[in-house]
Amino acid sequence: MTLYIIQSTGEMTECANKEVALASSNVLVVISHNQKKIYTWLGSQSSPHSKFACARETARLRMELGYKIVNLEEESTNNDFLEAIDEAINAPSGGSVAKPKPKTTPIKAPVKKETSKPKPKTTPKKAPVKKETPKPKEKKEAEPRRYETKAVKTKIIDVENIFKQLEVLPPMEDSIRDYILVGDSLFIAPENIEKSDSESKVQLPDGSFVADDYVPRLFLENGKIIAVELWRQN
């Protein structure tokens, strides 16, 4: 199966029903071996978490398959994408990527061992007796120095204040801001947070992945990078 629904947890779920897959709340990844393309389809009501996981998975699939990535919104659905869905649903089960055949090693003929001649008996030599050397006198350990520890103050990042400063900046042309990187934390852009969501911080899964579908824009203050905005072409 080469038709997947991307869950908000980042899990890829196989789907064999075209009507269920094309729901506005879904994010889809469709692999077309005939077209040599990887389609991503973003429903109009899909969550930002699923969109980010979709970008990560398509980057991984492109490295494995070498296919071109085609990004589509729900309103830009075309016939090539629908043909790719039909191809995925009608494809035989067993996985989208062929597994390499295991390597076989030729069986070597057994080598005949030569019978060794009996060795002449030898009388074992006695080991020389070691003389005991007097142990050196133990030196008294010097008392360790005591160093005064000073408390290090950690600077608290005011995320809300940074968001307010970014709201004043003009948006990038024909682009949508999905995420904002502050320090080592990733946040969903304020305009993309759903009313029912209580937290905007994204919990990223373990492992390495490339989010190359985004254009970064740096926000600098006094020669330091305060935040990085991630923009996606609309």
How sure is the predictor about 187, in pLDDT bands with cuts at 50, 70 and 90? confident
**Any idea where the domains of the chain sit in the sequence?**
3-90, 159-233
CB 67 within 8 A of CB 40: no
| CATH tag, 3-90 | 3.40.20.10
CA-closest candidate to residue 37, choices 59, 73, 78, 67? 67
Tokens of 41: 């389809």
CA distance 216 to 71: 18
Residue-wise pLDDT for 125-142, tens only, equals: 676 667 777 676 666 666
How sure is the predictor about 111, in pLDDT bands with cuts at 50, 70 and 90? low
pTM (whole model) above 0.75? no
| Rounded (10°) CA dihedral 198, 203, 209, 211 | 20
Residue-wise pLDDT for 36-84, tens only, equals: 999 999 999 999 999 989 998 998 999 898 999 999 999 999 999 999 9
119: enclosing H helix or E strand: none
CA distance 4 to 47: 16
